Structure 1
Amino acid sequence: MNRMKKRIKKIGIFFLLTASLAAVEIQNTEDAVNIAGKQRMFTQRMLKDYAMVGMGNTFGTPGKDLQQTIDAFTDHLKLLKAYAKNDAIKKSLDEIEVQWKPLRKILQETPNLSKVEKLQGDLEALLTASDKATKLFAKETGKNSGEIVNMAGRQRMLSQRMASLYMLKVWGVKDPKFKLKLDDALMLFKSSLEKLEKSPVNNEEINALLAKVKRSFVFFEMMNRSKSKFVPTLIYKKSNDILKNMNSITELYVKIESK
């Protein structure tokens, strides 16, 4: 039974990353906000997986997950470019594509500790560019729904960002801004979670999922306060738990606000 549960969880994450693109067409701008928001999350998930592979940690098959995420980022970008209507969004997506092409090649090479600091910076720039595109799509909705989908989707990214920062530290990357970056991610996640909990559009399903996310997030707050080292596999698992639940929440917001 436990093996079956683990397999189902793996399938669930795999579907989250690759639920594509044959099955997921962009029906409206809320969909575009959701998919563009996933791109932000992918930048941090790829960094997390890259560090796990570099450390030789095979929990969650990070090598396989990394390749799936690389493919998903590429497919999502094509989908967004096909849907984009205004010039500002098209230009933003073109800029992402220029940044992505060399990064894709580096991410498929054997992870190297000496290269990861530059890779982190480049993925940070890709995250910024992806965030810009997401906000442009959110603005195009012309209503508050775009913002709530954007915020919920950003929580997916923050779950992976918190984990990737910790993985890099465990791997041995000396980042003088590590504490500041982690604190900023934690504060933004917490404040956004509080806003989502108060949203008037929430239903019972969303509230139940938000409660699960809140319980998982406590783990990251404990990790940040503790002077002890946490096992990377626990960080990996908790970040995936939050990702899975926040992805479900984001898609529920899309459905509600698209009506």
Structure 2
Amino acid sequence: MAPPAAINKAGRQRMLSQRAAKAWLMLVMGVLPDRAKYILGQSVTLFDAQLAELKTLLPSDELRTLHLQLEHDWGRFRPLLADIRNDPKLIWTASEAVLTIAHKLTQAYEKAAGSSVGRLVNVSGRQRMLSQRMAKAYYFRQMDINTAPAGEMLDTAMREFDKAHGDLKVAAATTPQIKAELALVEQQWFFFQNALGMRDAGGQRKAATDVGTTSERILEQMDIVVGHYEKLAMGPQR
């Protein structure tokens, strides 16, 4: 596996830690339950597969140590996702632990790659994670669980997403094609912000559904963007 692909896959593990938690919360709340069940199953399966794939590219002691820690933390988080009767606070703690170590692993791969475009693979990949993190925080807040920290998490993630989006648009390596894809993300971001800001009781049900669907659309679109940066980081193909 080439280093840019490893950055992408490790970065996707960050996203999956938040997406799995989001889907679990959707099931608990009864928000699009069939879709949520599919998202949860897909997220767990993909995390398992990528964990195995990343094991084939661990060229340093640091990467090997981080991968072992990710395996350990995922091993604690994964069983919790199998039962919606579990304490949501356990989901909060376990998903945060997996996110933290997956982010360290992604940064280590970026450092090993040592390229400016590799950094853009990381940054754009983190946008995928933030799309799911915002949804996770929103659902925790709606459930009145860890309400204050969830509100802070949501506000911080929204600010970080907005800033990184602007940075990607003006990055020297960003091609016209990538800019066009980012413009599509921007359209969904407008709708997403509206849904995330919905607090009145009358609109909460619709907002909860919109958060679920729009977070997925942004994820899909950002995945395309990450793929473009990954190809750039790989250099000309012969």
Q: TM-score scaled by structure 2?
A: 0.92
Quote the offset at 1:216 in angstroms. 1.3
Give CA-to-partner distance per residue, 1:155-177, whole Å, 9 cap, x none: 00000011111122233424221
**Matched-pair contact (CA < 8 Å) for 1:59–1:233:** no
2:150 paired residue number: 178
Give CA-to-partner distance per residue, 1:101-156, whole Å, 9 cap, x none: 122111112x12x6111211111011000000000000001111221100000000
Whether 1:238 aligns to 2:210 is no
1:99 paired residue number: 73
Question: Counterparts of 1:222-237 in structure 2 under 5 Å?
Answer: 222-228=194-200, 229=204, 230-237=206-213
Give the residue type in structure 2 aligned to 1:152. S
2:183 paired residue number: 211
2:23 paired residue number: 49
Give the share of equivalent positions with the same residue, in percent.
Answer: 29
Question: Counterparts of 1:17-166 in structure 2 under 5 Å?
Answer: 26=1, 28-58=2-32, 61-109=35-83, 111-112=84-85, 115-166=87-138
Hey, what's the Cα distance between the residues in 1 that align with 2:230 and 2:75? 30
Give the number of equivalent residue pairs: 231
3-state SS in 2 of match to 1:177 = helix
Decide whether aligned partners of structure 1 residues 221 and 58 sit closer, same or farther in structure 2, where only a CA change above 3 A counts.
closer
Quote the offset at 1:60 in angstroms. 5.6
**Matched-pair contact (CA < 8 Å) for 1:34–1:149:** yes
Hey, what's the Cα distance between the residues in 2 that align with 1:224 and 1:107? 24
Judge which range, 59-68 or 122-131, deviates more: 59-68
Judge which range, 127-136 or 219-228, deviates more: 219-228
3-state SS in 2 of match to 1:152 = helix
1:189 paired residue number: 161
Q: Where does structure 2 lack aligned partners over 5 or more consecutive residues?
A: none
Hey, what's the Cα distance between the residues in 1 that align with 2:229 and 2:151? 32
Q: TM-score scaled by structure 1?
A: 0.85
Judge which range, 160-169 or 212-221, deviates more: 212-221
Quote the offset at 1:222 in angstroms. 3.0
Quote the offset at 1:38 in angstroms. 0.2
Decide whether aligned partners of structure 1 residues 153 and 95 sit closer, same or farther in structure 2, where only a CA change above 3 A counts.
same
**Matched-pair contact (CA < 8 Å) for 1:67–1:108:** no
Hey, what's the Cα distance between the residues in 2 that align with 1:197 and 1:50? 33
Structure showing the higher helix proportion among its residues: 2
Give CA-to-partner distance per residue, 1:180-210, whole Å, 9 cap, x none: 1111000100110000000122222211110
